[in-house]
Amino acid sequence: MTQGTRSLTRPSYQIEGAVEQDGRAPTIWDTFCNRPGKIADGSSGNTACDSYNRTAEDIALLKSLGATAYRFSLSWTRIVPLGGRNDPVNQPGLDHYVKFVDDLLAAGITPFVTLLHWDVPDELDKRYGGLLDKTEFGLDFDRYARLCFQAMPKVKHWATFNEPWCSAVLGYNVGQFAPGRTSDRTKSSEGDGTTEPWIAAHTLLVAHGRAVRSYRDDFKAAAQGEIGIVLNGDAVFPWDPADPRDVEACERKLEFAISWFADPIYKGDYPESMKRQLGSRLPTFTPEEVALVRGSNDFYGMNHYTANYVRHRLGTADPEDVGGHLDLLSYNKRGFCIGEETQSPWLRPCAAGFRDLMVWISKRYNYPKIYITENGTSIKGENDLPVDKILDDDFRVRYYDDYVRAMATAVSLDGVDVRGYFAWSLMDNFEWAEGYETRFGVCYVDYDNGQKRFAKKSARFLGPLFDKLIRKDGQ
């Protein structure tokens, strides 16, 4: 790995705060957080880490940690408050990000910019259903993306969307994330979890293709940059390795989570396993859409945290199923646990799975250039500890040690082409439906005392670890 070796991540809604400052308008997450019972602690991103007003402080923090790159997302509604292609641009919001990019570069820190991290403009959701309208959303996103490309030519690394699986499944099937649509009428009065996640995902893929075409046609040559998408995915192991049905279910799980988006980009269509299970509910690509989407990645952005044991299910898949008709378990048939508990019910460390998944992605997609765009862990009960114990986060240190070493092994022994690694995240922040009860940062944020930041042990650990394991340019 030759770049991004000491890198950290920051998402807009989770960290910026200042939700009504300088012309910003509401996103679907602002609206969602105002609904009772949607966020674990009843909180929102209204203040978060107040990073919108602390960019100089955050850059100084990055420098103190030896960071060489910083991945952050933009807030669409700071730049185009109402979101639409015919809506006015908010110059103060755009200027904020232009200056932030300039300041990062002046500090010797490379910006990796994500255009949309789930926070769709609320107005677009009200106008036409947001991600449920492929044509309108795609045109609006393309105009927004072009504004950003034009205003920030110094950015060399762009991502269109972060984790479209989460937007589609958690936003339009489970109802756990904004806009909270689901077939479960105890959670939402609107939504059809049997069809809407597949529609939303198709919209995101086509919008991604549009923005990539715009970048390549009009900006890439001058900027000498690259663009891709960021996909999440967990590693898998069969619940019973001797049962070929569990082995097959593992492959199906990866296809429903990762190949749902990566296959259209690298192969031109959805996986056959999805077509078989979903039938006509899975949208089809027109020839024009295939031309937009296929080949629309200059790199593969890989978000990864955990692993599961996978057990097949018998019978016919439930129409609400989005995972491939299988069970995800923490224990296998012999009673072995995949990893220790964390504060996040879905996350158990398993570094061996990280290496396996990198190899699987590399083989399936002809060894693409990979950036590890998110990797990290919460710690069970961390938020309830005294500050000195929070700063002494040995569990997180062990996690990073195991995972970064697994990545280095995948590069050196398996031929995986990793170009950069970003820890999630620079600081504790608003963890979506989990509110502020869950902490992922390598820096502690004291929410009760002015959002002050303090480096944890893990923050000081990453740089020396990379110095040991990752080769430098020219070596």
pLDDT digits (tens, 9 = 90+) for 101-145: 999 999 999 999 999 999 999 999 999 999 999 999 999 999 999
> What is the structure's pLDDT at 10?
78
Q: The dihedral of CA 421, 423, 429, 430: what is its sign? A: positive
Percent of the chain surpassing pLDDT 90: 95
Confidence tier at 180 by pLDDT (50, 70, 90): very high
Catalytic residues: 163, 374
Under DSSP, is residue 397 helix (H, G, I), strand (E, B) or coil? helix
Q: What is the DSSP annotation of 74-129?
A: --HHHHSTT--TTSPP-HHHHHHHHHHHHHHHHTT-EEEEEEESS--BHHHHHHH-
Percent of the chain surpassing pLDDT 70: 97
Tell me the whole-structure pTM to 2 decimals. Answer: 0.97
> What is the structure's pLDDT at 1?
40
Per DSSP bridges, beta strands 326-329 and 307-312 are: antiparallel
> What is the structure's pLDDT at 475?
40
**Does pLDDT of 248 surpass 70?**
yes
Chain centroid to CA 237: 23
Confidence tier at 472 by pLDDT (50, 70, 90): very low
Q: Is 473 exposed, middle or buried (0-12, 13-18, 19+ CB in 10 A)?
A: exposed
Mean per-residue pLDDT for 382-411? 97
The torsion angle over the Cα atoms of residues 106, 108, 112 and 118, rounded to 10 degrees, is -70
**Does pLDDT of 324 surpass 50?**
yes
> What is the structure's pLDDT at 4?
39
pLDDT digits (tens, 9 = 90+) for 57-105: 999 999 999 999 999 999 999 999 999 999 999 999 999 999 999 999 9
Confidence tier at 464 by pLDDT (50, 70, 90): very high
> What is the structure's pLDDT at 474?
35
Q: How far is it, in rounded angstroms, from Cα 315 to Cα 336?
A: 27
Give the DSSP letter of residue 46.
S
Mean per-residue pLDDT for 301-318? 98
Confidence tier at 6 by pLDDT (50, 70, 90): low
> What is the structure's pLDDT at 470?
65
Mean per-residue pLDDT for 22-34? 98
Q: How far is it, in rounded angstroms, from Cα 19 to Cα 428?
A: 18
Mean per-residue pLDDT for 300-308? 98
**Does pLDDT of 467 surpass 90?**
no
> What is the structure's pLDDT at 468?
84
* Average model confidence (pLDDT) across the chain: 96
Q: 66 near 465, Cβ under 8 Å?
A: no
Question: Where does 292-381 show beta strands of DSSP type E?
Answer: 300-303, 307-312, 326-329, 370-374
Confidence tier at 33 by pLDDT (50, 70, 90): very high
> What is the structure's pLDDT at 196?
99
> What is the structure's pLDDT at 471?
53
User: Which domains, ranges and CATH numbers included, belong to the chain?
Assistant: 7-468 (3.20.20.80)
